[in-house]
Amino acid sequence: MSSGRPVRHFLRDDDLSAAEQARVLALAAELATNRLARRPLDGPRAVAVLFDKPSLRTRVSFSVGIAELGGYPLVIDAGGTHAGRGEAVEDVARVLSRQVAAIAWRTFAQDQLAAMAAASRVPVVNALTNEFHPCQVLADLLTIQQAYGRLAGLTLTFLGDGSSNMAHSYLLGGATAGLHVRICAPAAYWPSADVVATAAAIAGRTGGSVLVTADTAAGCTDADVLATDVWTSMGQEGQEGARSEVMVPYSLDAAKLAAASAYCRVLHCLPAHRGQEITAEVIDGPASLVFEQSENRLHAQKALLCFLLEQAAG
């Protein structure tokens, strides 16, 4: 039943204010220790989870999470629908939002996701686009909070493809949490200027900061968290050679970890390519939190769905 309030969506990291992000992370921490504490989808009510790109972690964590919230995960591969044959995204939204409580969509262009949200009567969640991966960064923030007991004032450095969805989401989500976010990338792969400017404005309000640099020493020195991701994202196949050539100096290796703070933790959203963007020694070493990070997709997305459904209920 509609509350008459505007439907809240989570399309980019800055769709949550700093207070809302803190509230979602606090609930995620609670759900990590008591997985069945919240049952807003009891009935069960269905949540549609649509995939236009491959996935393991997102598929599993949304499916398990929706079930644990009392609901039914309706996982749809776009290749098995009319979406791949040109059905209007607005029509997909209208059909789904008469039958499901929320929609999560992994797709290519952010503007298509925004079009879906504009036509939807239920919350729409970004399960990864070319531009942003905000559910992953919510999980990463939970992981950092679990490791350090806090977020504001810590320094997180992302190494590698600074123009990627993960870099953009670290900028917006990290700045919202009051982190000092450093993007350390070759100059040809720096983030969108718009995203950097938005992140800097958010950081100005939260006490964080933003730095974009090609200098690995400036990027890594005294960092509390070092993060990376694949050098060639989904949809960029064919660019591997050119990307690898310039990104080798940004590989997350033991030397960069040694330059960081003594307690520095390592994140990678997976899947990983050992020997490329991260060495086996680092990802399989004691500083690595990558599997905690992977599990935290479950807790963070459940908390996010609780928040969005509460907003919808009024």
For binding to ligand CP (CB under 6 A), which residues are involved?
55-58, 128, 136, 269-270
Question: Is 110 among the residues known to form the active site?
Answer: no
CB-nearer residue toward ligand CP: 222 or 284: 284
CB-nearer residue toward ligand CP: 57 or 243: 57
Minimum Å gap between C-beta 5 and ligand CP is: 30
Question: Is 229 among the residues known to form the active site?
Answer: yes
Minimum Å gap between C-beta 268 and ligand CP is: 9
Q: Which of 13, 161, 224, 229 is catalytic?
A: 229
Minimum Å gap between C-beta 54 and ligand CP is: 6
Q: Which of 133, 243, 265, 268 is catalytic?
A: 133
What SS3 state is found at 158? strand
Q: Which of 12, 243, 297, 299 is catalytic?
A: 297
Residue 227 near residue 267, CB atoms below 8 Å: yes
CB-nearer residue toward ligand CP: 7 or 32: 32
Which among 7, 13, 8, 1 is positioned nearest to 176, based on CA atoms?
13
CB-nearer residue toward ligand CP: 21 or 136: 136
Question: Is 133 among the residues known to form the active site?
Answer: yes
Residue 306 near residue 27, CB atoms below 8 Å: yes
The set of residues, in sequence order, having a beta carbon less than 8 Å from that of 133 and lying 6+ positions away, is 126, 165, 166, 169, 269
Minimum Å gap between C-beta 62 and ligand CP is: 9
The set of residues, in sequence order, having a beta carbon less than 8 Å from that of 224 and lying 6+ positions away, is 144, 148, 154, 155, 156, 260, 261, 263, 264, 265
CB-nearer residue toward ligand CP: 292 or 310: 292
Sheet bearing 72-77, strands edge to edge:
72-77, 46-51, 102-106, 124-126
Minimum Å gap between C-beta 60 and ligand CP is: 8
Q: Which of 136, 145, 293, 301 is catalytic?
A: 136
Minimum Å gap between C-beta 255 and ligand CP is: 26
* DSSP 8-class letter at 270: S
Dist. CA 83–CA 88, nearest whole Å: 7
Question: Is 311 among the residues known to form the active site?
Answer: no
Distances 281 to 106, 179, 248, 255 between C-alpha atoms, Å: 31, 27, 16, 11
CB-nearer residue toward ligand CP: 206 or 293: 293
Question: Is 269 among the residues known to form the active site?
Answer: yes
Q: Which of 106, 182, 243, 299 is catalytic?
A: 106
The set of residues, in sequence order, having a beta carbon less than 8 Å from that of 103 and lying 6+ positions away, is 47, 48, 49, 50, 93, 96, 97, 116, 120, 122, 123, 124, 125
Catalytic residues: 106, 133, 136, 229, 269, 297
